[in-house]
């Protein structure tokens, strides 16, 4: 299949460019690269390299201006990603389109980079697809490629698409001095064109929008019709969006969202929702904000297997049991809810960040049993004594803690927190800050509307690197530390004279 496609494609390419494809690779060369990568090339990839080992350095870029990489360059590019994988594999947000086809990672050593854009981005062959994907599918990935598309279900389809594009004349030739290259249609970068292409090429997963949307558009109330027409122009654009921000729209229902199956990020803050049943169809969701809605039932969320961040602040939710089945839930905000029992959160095995209000000792005890927590934001403490807070020492993986609107005698409860890197105190009174100065690994302290009665003890910290506070706090501490401190952020206003003092300090104490 690849051989026939390439024969046709080369005839078309020869009408545009001088020959630029390299001679074949040998079986031994392919085997060497496979062994080093510990990857078996799909048959069509192997067949392509047995016909041409990439293209010359001065070639126009077989893949619409992006070069077809020789095997040595494939291996070099792959090594760059492999070295970064252990630390950054899950960095940032990664979305698969369609959902469930590409593993939602930033880096995967089982993506074979057959092309690059010289800016840290690649076209690759995926030999480790997600549960609905196919080994050998052609994808995009890289530094700027948060959304990863299945460009083609197999390499032969991609090459056939290139041939069809030339036949139809859907390309443009570019000339820069002696360098000749080409682009797809009117795009300046093929990876940017993916957003508007019907994918996968030749076999698009397109929906029949006109039929499916016409009926529900007719049935919608005027409020929803106005939102869709004014903000998204038409139902097709609305359904295809990956992010929807519907804040303060006075929504009483979200029926149209049942069709938005590719949405990754949905913000529904400050509406009038009591029923979120349509969300059960939004299986692609990774981030969901339901803040300030009078809803109570989270059951529709229990099958959202990709959901990582959920905010239910200021709702009437009282039962968080449905959250247990959300296997990837990492970040949960649930201040000002009707939830009384937090013990269920111990079963959320991926939970790393929690924002909460604590109103009794039992709730505090339950929170300190969540061994996976790395970040804890406490926005209210009621009916808690100093000795009760010592239970926070059980959170062995805790790296960041916030206290807001609290009165604290001391922070001795953090003395055994070996992983703690950052403390944030907002609108809080702390009588004794001695424990802060004694923490061995603390890097950052932020005081926002907060007072520490013996502030001087903070300067005893030998590990602190960044301090954020008011001008008065900065001015008091600036000459007390033995190490250089980053004071580059001030909370609150400053007079002209205070700004002068601060700027002079920053100019003479560059960190």
**Each residue of 12-52: pLDDT tens digit?**
999 999 999 999 999 999 999 999 999 999 999 999 999 99
Q: Which two tokens stand for residue 483?
A: 């190490």
> Which residues sit opposite 423 in a β-bridge?
401, 445
Domain assignment present for residue 217? The answer is no
Q: What is the DSSP string of 285-348?
A: --EEE--S------GGGTT-TT--EEE-TTS-----GGGGG-TT--EEE--S-S----GGGGG-
Residues with Cβ within 8 Å of residue 56, at least 6 apart in sequence: 20, 21, 22
Low-confidence residues in the chain, pLDDT < 50: 207-209
Q: Is residue 156 part of a domain?
A: yes
Note whether residue 337 is domain-resident: no
204 in a structural domain: no
Domain that holds residue 439: 352-511
Residues 6 or more apart whose CB falls under 8 angstroms from that of 169 comprise none
pLDDT of residue 211: 57
| pLDDT tens track for 50-76 | 999 999 999 999 999 999 999 999 999
Please list, in sequence order, all residues whose beta carbon lies within 8 angstroms of the beta carbon of residue 194, skipping any fewer than 6 positions away: 140, 149, 151
Q: Is residue 297 part of a domain?
A: no
Number of domains into which the chain is organized: 2
Q: Which of 179, 196, 213 is the C-terminal boundary of a domain? A: 196
Which 8-state DSSP code applies to residue 460?
Answer: G
| Residue 468 covered by a domain | yes
Please say which residue of 164, 196, 228 terminates a domain: 196
Residue-wise pLDDT for 470-500, tens only, equals 999 999 999 999 999 999 999 999 999 999 9
**Residue 178 resides in a domain:** yes
Backbone angles phi, psi at 415, to 5 degrees: -60, -30
**302-319: per-residue pLDDT in tens?**
999 889 999 999 999 999
- State both tokens at 185: 């249609």
Is residue 242, in this structure, part of any structural domain at all? no
Give the containing element (helix H, strand E) for 179: strand 179-184
- Provide the pLDDT for residue 177: 81
For 7, the token pair is 């024969």
Indicate the residue among 160, 177, 196 that finishes a domain.
196
Q: What is the pLDDT of residue 282?
A: 92
DSSP string, 30-74: HHHHHHHHT-PPPHHHHHHHHH---B-TTS--TBTTB----HHHH
Report the pLDDT value the prediction gives residue 417, as an integer from 0 to 100.
92
CATH of the domain at 41: 3.40.1580.10
Q: Which residues are CB-neighbours of 213 under 8 A, at least 6 positions away?
A: 235, 236, 239, 259
CATH of residue 499's domain is 3.80.10.10
The 3-class SS string of 95-126 reads: EEECCCCCCCCCCCCCEEEEEECCCCEEEEEE
């Amino acid at each position: 299949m690849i051989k026939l496609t390439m024969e046709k494609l080369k005839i078309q390419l020869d009408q545009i460019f001088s020959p630029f494809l390299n001679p074949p690779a040998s079986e031994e060369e392919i085997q060497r690269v496979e062994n080093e990568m510990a990857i078996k090339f799909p048959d069509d990839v192997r067949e392509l390299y047995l016909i041409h080992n990439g293209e010359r350095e001065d070639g126009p870029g077989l893949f619409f201006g992006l070069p077809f990489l020789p095997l040595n360059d494939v291996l070099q590019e792959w090594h760059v990603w492999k070295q970064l994988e252990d630390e950054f594999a899950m960095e940032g947000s990664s979305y698969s389109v369609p959902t469930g086809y590409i593993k939602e990672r930033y880096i995967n050593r089982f993506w074979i980079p057959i092309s690059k854009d010289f800016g840290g981005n690649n076209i690759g062959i995926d030999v480790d697809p997600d549960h609905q994907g196919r080994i050998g599918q052609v994808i995009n990935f890289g530094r700027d490629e948060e959304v990863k598309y299945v460009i083609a279900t197999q390499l032969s389809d991609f090459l056939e698409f290139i041939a069809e594009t030339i036949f139809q004349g859907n390309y443009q030739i570019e000339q820069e001095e002696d360098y000749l290259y080409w682009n797809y249609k009117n795009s300046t970068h093929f990876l940017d064109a993916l957003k508007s292409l019907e994918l996968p090429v030749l076999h698009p997963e397109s929906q029949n929008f006109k039929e499916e949307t016409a009926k529900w558009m007719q049935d919608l109330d005027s409020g929803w019709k106005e939102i869709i027409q004014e903000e998204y122009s038409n139902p097709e654009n609305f359904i295809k969006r990956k992010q929807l921000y519907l804040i303060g729209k006075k929504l009483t229902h979200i029926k149209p969202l049942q069709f938005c199956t590719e949405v990754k990020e949905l913000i529904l803050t400050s509406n009038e929702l009591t029923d979120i049943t349509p969300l059960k169809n939004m299986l692609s969701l990774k981030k969901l904000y339901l803040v300030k809605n009078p809803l109570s039932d989270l059951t529709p969320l229990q099958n959202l297997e990709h959901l990582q961040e959920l905010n239910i602040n200021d709702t009437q939710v009282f039962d968080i049991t449905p959250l247990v089945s959300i296997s990837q839930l990492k970040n949960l905000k649930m201040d000002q809810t009707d939830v009384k029992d937090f013990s269920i959160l111990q079963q959320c095995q991926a939970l790393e960040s929690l924002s909460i209000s604590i109103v009794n000792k039992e709730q505090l005890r339950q929170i300190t049993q969540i061994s996976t927590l790395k970040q804890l934001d406490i926005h209210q403490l009621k009916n808690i004594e100093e000795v009760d807070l010592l239970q926070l020492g059980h959170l062995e993986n805790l790296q960041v803690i916030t206290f807001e609107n609290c009165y604290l005698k001391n922070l001795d409860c953090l003395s055994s927190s070996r992983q703690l890197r950052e403390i944030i105190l907002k609108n809080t009174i702390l009588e004794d800050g001695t424990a802060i100065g004694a923490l061995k690994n603390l890097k950052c302290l932020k005081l926002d509307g907060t007072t520490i009665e013996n502030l001087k003890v903070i300067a005893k910290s030998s590990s602190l690197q960044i301090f954020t506070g008011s001008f008065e706090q900065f001015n008091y501490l600036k000459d007390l530390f033995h190490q250089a401190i980053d004071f580059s952020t001030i909370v609150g206003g400053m007079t002209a004279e205070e700004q002068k003092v601060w700027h002079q300090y920053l100019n003479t104490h560059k960190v």
